[in-house]
Amino acid sequence: MSANWAGNVVFSADRLAAPTSLDRLREVVADSEKVHVVGAGHSFSRIADTTGTLVSLRDLPATVEIGPDRTWARVGAGLRLAELSLLLHAESLALHNLPSLPHITLVGAVTTATHGSGDGNGSLASAVRSLDLLTADGSLVTLARGDERFAGAVVSFGALGVVTALEIDVVPAFDVEQRVHEDLPWDVLAAESDRLFAQAYSVSVFTDWRESFSAWVKRRTTDAPADLSWTGAREATEQRHPIPGVSAEHCTPQLGEPGPWHARLPHFRAEFTPSAGAELQSEYLVARPFAAQALRALKELGPVIAPVLLTAEIRTMTADDYWLSPFQGRDSMAFHFTWVPDTEAVRPVLARIEEALAPCSVRPHWGKLYELEPNDRYEHWSRFAGLLADLDPEGKFRNEVVDHHFPRTSD
């Protein structure tokens, strides 16, 4: 892999490695002065990059072991969500939630706090019970819930070492139906966002930040029917894609057709290119008490945002305790942007959005594009810097992003 999925990051690695065993992975890490893992390469920031050896775990055994009480599973680090979902579903088990696409790896998703939507749902990272971390000195450290360093390690984007396996919570498989409700009035969203997002297991709003707002409602079939009649929105009678002009065939089935969790919670089907394909992305997370203020600020910026926007999505997530998670300590509203693939045109707009959301204690998605310095928005920032120095004193796993945010004290 020489570039990320979007093509905006050309990796600076001088060597690529795809070990087929843990022993071989250990040798690669020991032999490399600098090393970083790449998952499926779907991040838009340089977070997976390295100037040394770029390691893919794609060829490690794709193992999934179900715990005897069927509440957890142990998952090998190379697995993508699409593969993992099918293996779990075959056991009548499920992940509690999924992001918009199943093409990415579980570890790559967990370590950037990748999320779907739902007032009662944490990000994928919230399902992690323990992780096995191959550290710079070659030891394999298991960190589990309750261990002091666990909360620092789950969302850490490869900076502490190579995650070789994860244990995650799983739940009994469930069915979901999704419906798109169009022409949602802006005034209703602005005034009643809490009521709207509480309507179902997972609710997203897609918008152009001008006139068009639509609610994508994913309901577990065992839950009460969602009621959006009070909003004035109209239920779509044809399958939709979040980006106008892209084939809706690429999306998971809508129109209220029930189906398994893994074929409804993501917006995009595993067998197609997700989203537009040619694009950039950013996402900003604000604490729920700031939701109405953030909504109004972004609506005002609509004329600035719209010229470089393909689509935007608003989601909700519950709080977690991970030191570097954007959801740390706060239930959140997430503001996602899918941009035209033009970095120079997008960057000034990011600066405007960040300025507008600054009073809302905004935190960026680690895997997407941002300009701001988030350090003062995280109460455990310096604690993470300490963990980094302990586990990787020579800076083997440091890359440009890690150096930027956590400069070495000797630098």
Ligand X SMILES: Cc1cc2nc3c(=O)[nH]c(=O)nc-3n(C[C@H](O)[C@H](O)[C@H](O)COP(=O)(O)OP(=O)(O)OC[C@H]3O[C@@H](n4cnc5c(N)ncnc54)[C@H](O)[C@@H]3O)c2cc1C
Task: Please give the residue ranges that form the binding site for ligand X (CB under 6 A).
Answer: 5, 36-43, 47-48, 57, 77, 99-101, 104-105, 107-109, 111-112, 114-115, 157-158, 162-163, 274-275, 281, 365, 367
Secondary structure letter of residue 253 according to DSSP: P
Answer whether 85's CB lies under 8 Å from 174's CB. no
Cβ at position 78, least distance to ligand X in Å: 8
Nearer to ligand X (CB atom), residue 44 or residue 231: 44
How far apart (Å, rounded) are the C-alpha atoms in residues 163 and 107?
7
Residue corresponding to tokens 């179902």? 200
Cβ at position 163, least distance to ligand X in Å: 4
Other Cβ atoms within 10 Å of 92 Cβ, number: 10
Nearer to ligand X (CB atom), residue 48 or residue 128: 48
How far apart (Å, rounded) are the C-alpha atoms in residues 328 and 151?
10
Answer whether 43's CB lies under 8 Å from 1's CB. no
Nearer to ligand X (CB atom), residue 138 or residue 185: 138
Nearer to ligand X (CB atom), residue 114 or residue 231: 114
Phi, psi at 165, each rounded to 5°: -160, 155
Cβ at position 364, least distance to ligand X in Å: 11
Nearer to ligand X (CB atom), residue 43 or residue 130: 43
Q: Is 180 exposed, middle or buried (0-12, 13-18, 19+ CB in 10 A)?
A: buried
Cβ at position 222, least distance to ligand X in Å: 24
Task: From 284, 305, 291, select the one nearest 374 (Cα to Cα).
Answer: 284
Token pair belonging to 30: 């020991």
Cβ at position 375, least distance to ligand X in Å: 18
Cβ at position 92, least distance to ligand X in Å: 25
Nearer to ligand X (CB atom), residue 35 or residue 184: 35
Task: From 21, 104, 13, 9, select the one nearest 57 (Cα to Cα).
Answer: 21
